[in-house]
Structure 1
């Protein structure tokens, strides 16, 4: 006899269907921004094998709108109605290779995050269909009232529907527009948001946009978007480590490390674009791709600290969609967590790799204090403390000191010592951490360069360097190297004068 049962127990089944208005409003607050919402819609287009995706933004009318149109395989009416259903596809269902979707929520939640009216038109096998979610209608009826159109030729976006494909239309842009204001203010706000979104899309889908035969063409108001590769993999000065692969039961994790070029080896435009609005300090770290689609951009995920010396480090990690649950991919496909096995392996990769980026910066600093090149500044380490002080033995200083009367020599050396003591360490550190590439040396006057050339040449010749080697030796001197066009002429002229002495 089952002693746990009770003859007085009874169970009733009650319909607990959620209120349509409350639940659908809740789907607006999954944390999407404009850029992540657009990326989610584009995911659907790519999964539908579209190779042309057009974003058409109207920010100047009294009723602004956003349209995303593609030439993918399109949907039948039954498929469209299923796609408009919330939670239309379980995340546990096995995805096809290269499929970018996950929860079956992206189309609706991403759209609702920006608008109160979502219209989707689609055409497949010559047959068109159209459906709309209007959140105001759902709120009014408190029911799952989906509007289905039999005739929709006059609907906004219909002219963008191709022989096959899908058009998504956002209207009632309450979240994007914000508080009601003038048309000019709405236009300004929308343009600012889309400027940020454009960079995000170029970054997120850069692998689909790049190469001689890109997988997709993506345009914003008829302007083609170009890829933005965060690893600068095609730049000749980028350092690339061999690919490392972690074989797991449900797929392979591929890892490749990149050290992007020092800013002096890139154009200012390319350097600024690569760093983005937050700069290179924030863009270092891991770049995680799910089926070639970027989902994490620039974070060490606790494996390392963001420092000035590691800001050139980028590690690209590729995972398949079969690992979504292990990596805890969220609805927006904008966050993930490292599985334990991957974290352990990555820690070793990161520890070894970040040193490459540090050496790229340190090697430039070390050249400035190379003893054989008569540095202007010396690096001195005493009891673990590092000091920089002017090199009083520099040929220019020595040549000038020899010309001074004996009573002025001590005053001259005191001035040099005060310059060393007054080095603004705190200010330099603050600038280097936040804006290192904007710090440049003052332009050197030609007369000053000429004096450096004369004094260094005299020292080199006195130490047995031949006339033929003087120019090559001086070209390695940092001050002259950065002004070599002028310095080379000065060296040539001075050597000619020496011939006639």
Structure 2
């Protein structure tokens, strides 16, 4: 339309030229204020590893005796050469993503990292290039977006340290001066790490559960660099992240479910809704251990098999207690559209009224409506609420040193005492006539390290070794913690358990000697 000022409405704004305006250095400060939670930021970096073809990833906390030092994420993906590293560390650069990629906006590496750390280092190696690295710091961004080149010798040394993960190619992302770590007071590192790792394990197990179910190896490890003889120190904790499937029930809450509904959504087409109903009062981890039930009902949106929203009705209705069993899986179209949009942190989906109107019209192949599904979920909840449930005694939860798979089952089966510090297992020096000793003040079961190999088939165990022995001890000794006065009868029980267990060690050694002779 021709420009006629003051006479005709202008559908297009007229211009007379253009200029390229590079961002001011102050823009870099916006990267530190993206609202990333710690777990979401780590998950965003793991997305990059998966996009790079990694099938083995480790989230590695390094600490010393007094403080938490740094965080690294190591993968065995295809890696990056110098040109790729420069591109990855360029602020504001967006690259092209394939239809199946988890990355979307091109800002995650920088925004997620600098939201939590003042220094981001990326070291990588490909099959055809040597190890190389780049470092981006808060000071460098203020200095005209300066990116530092990592000394190639250090880059190669860092890759060599993780040769159990990076064999021919891979990438290491390192966070230094992590703001949350710097606020942990002296002597509180264990408690902070215990909670941080627990939250991280739950988040990654939930949002990446489809990848974990397909074989992705994802571990969280803690190393104390001030102890041990290795170059990285000594491993003090190790968790293999397990899938937390929000639809992983054994039996549905109502026969005939799950059901597939089709929602006609304008400008998108048919959207498939897989409607599930959990059993009432289920104790499974995928139901109870992923957050408040009121928050976890509703839609579970996936993009390329990565969970990007875990619950919520997106304006269709408000959360209600009698819909706590209702969960609906929705796979987003791989292409961008104006109806369903994903936030940059990949933790929530914004929908327009076109989506909710489509859901209102959704039906399955038998003609059942989505409203009938909601009614079925309400009925299952009310019927389940009437059933009499056996109330099990609350326990002090298990903590560090016990295999995460065992801890998860204990949480599923037994309610936890509120406010109790978890019971930790550790190996230490004890008299030969003691198999274990209780530190009731700190909720620790101390095991005699002289007998450690006897319960690890003669091998040196890891942080979560001897799971059967530790689990049995937990079941025996849990009620010895959190008490007031220590009764003589309890001490007598601890004494004869020690005597019997020492006899079992002797029997174990005799059996091993017979096998090896």
TM-score range, shorter chain: 0.5 to 0.7
Q: Does 1:26 align with 2:42?
A: no
Cα–Cα, structure 1 residues 363 and 162, in superposed 2: closer, same or farther, change >3 Å? same
Give the 3-state SS of the residue equivalent to 1:152 in structure 2. Answer: helix
The answer to whether the 8 Å contact 2:206/2:290 transfers is no
Deviation (angstroms), 1:353:
1.7
Match of 1:67 in 2: 72
Map 1:166-177 to 2 at 5 A.
166-174=171-179, 176-177=180-181
Cα–Cα, structure 1 residues 367 and 79, in superposed 2: closer, same or farther, change >3 Å? closer
Q: Does 1:223 align with 2:243?
A: no
CA RMSD of aligned residues (A): 3.2
Give the paired residue count.
351
The answer to whether the 8 Å contact 2:28/2:142 transfers is no
Deviation (angstroms), 1:278:
3.8
Cα–Cα, structure 1 residues 129 and 89, in superposed 2: closer, same or farther, change >3 Å? farther
Q: Does 1:258 align with 2:279?
A: no
The answer to whether the 8 Å contact 1:177/1:190 transfers is no
Deviation (angstroms), 1:140:
6.8
Give the 3-state SS of the residue equivalent to 1:226 in structure 2. Answer: coil
Deviation (angstroms), 1:304:
1.7
Deviation (angstroms), 1:179:
2.7
Match of 2:258 in 1: 241
- Distance across 2 between alignment mates of 1:362 and 1:113: 44
Map 1:452-467 to 2 at 5 A.
none
Give the 3-state SS of the residue equivalent to 1:337 in structure 2. Answer: strand
Deviation (angstroms), 1:230:
0.9
- What 5-or-longer segments of structure 1 have no aligned partner? 369-436, 439-501
Match of 1:109 in 2: 111
Q: Does 1:199 align with 2:202?
A: yes
Q: Does 1:338 align with 2:338?
A: no
Give the 3-state SS of the residue equivalent to 1:356 in structure 2. Answer: helix
Bigger radius of gyration: 1
Cα–Cα, structure 1 residues 120 and 143, in superposed 2: closer, same or farther, change >3 Å? closer
The answer to whether the 8 Å contact 2:280/2:384 transfers is no
Deviation (angstroms), 1:363:
3.1
- Distance across 2 between alignment mates of 1:348 and 1:250: 15
The answer to whether the 8 Å contact 2:77/2:170 transfers is yes
Map 1:117-196 to 2 at 5 A.
117-138=119-140, 141-153=143-155, 156=158, 158-160=160-162, 161-174=166-179, 176-179=180-183, 181-182=185-186, 184-196=187-199
Give the 3-state SS of the residue equivalent to 2:48 in structure 1. Answer: helix
Cα–Cα, structure 1 residues 163 and 117, in superposed 2: closer, same or farther, change >3 Å? same
Deviation (angstroms), 1:346:
1.5
Match of 1:320 in 2: 333
Deviation (angstroms), 1:172:
1.2
Give the 3-state SS of the residue equivalent to 1:261 in structure 2. Answer: coil
Cα–Cα, structure 1 residues 11 and 198, in superposed 2: closer, same or farther, change >3 Å? same
Deviation (angstroms), 1:80:
1.6
- Distance across 2 between alignment mates of 1:84 and 1:107: 8
- Distance across 2 between alignment mates of 1:179 and 1:336: 32
Deviation (angstroms), 1:320:
2.9
- Distance across 1 between alignment mates of 2:131 and 2:337: 32
Q: Deviations over 1:207-242 (max 9, x none)?
A: 1111xxx24111111421111111225546575233
The answer to whether the 8 Å contact 1:259/1:313 transfers is yes
TM-score using structure 2 length: 0.61
Map 1:306-385 to 2 at 5 A.
306-323=319-336, 326-349=339-362, 350-364=370-384
Map 1:396-435 to 2 at 5 A.
none
Deviation (angstroms), 1:289:
0.5
Deviation (angstroms), 1:281:
2.2
Q: Does 1:40 align with 2:12?
A: no
Match of 1:390 in 2: none
Deviation (angstroms), 1:154:
6.8
- Distance across 2 between alignment mates of 1:246 and 1:255: 7
The answer to whether the 8 Å contact 1:275/1:283 transfers is no
- Distance across 1 between alignment mates of 2:116 and 2:359: 37
- Distance across 2 between alignment mates of 1:115 and 1:158: 24
- Distance across 1 between alignment mates of 2:41 and 2:3: 55
Map 1:441-456 to 2 at 5 A.
none
Deviation (angstroms), 1:59:
4.1
TM-score using structure 1 length: 0.63
The answer to whether the 8 Å contact 1:232/1:260 transfers is no
Cα–Cα, structure 1 residues 68 and 177, in superposed 2: closer, same or farther, change >3 Å? same
The answer to whether the 8 Å contact 1:28/1:109 transfers is yes
Deviation (angstroms), 1:177:
1.6
Cα–Cα, structure 1 residues 158 and 13, in superposed 2: closer, same or farther, change >3 Å? farther
Give the 3-state SS of the residue equivalent to 2:210 in structure 1. Answer: helix
Give the 3-state SS of the residue equivalent to 2:349 in structure 1. Answer: coil
Match of 1:98 in 2: 100
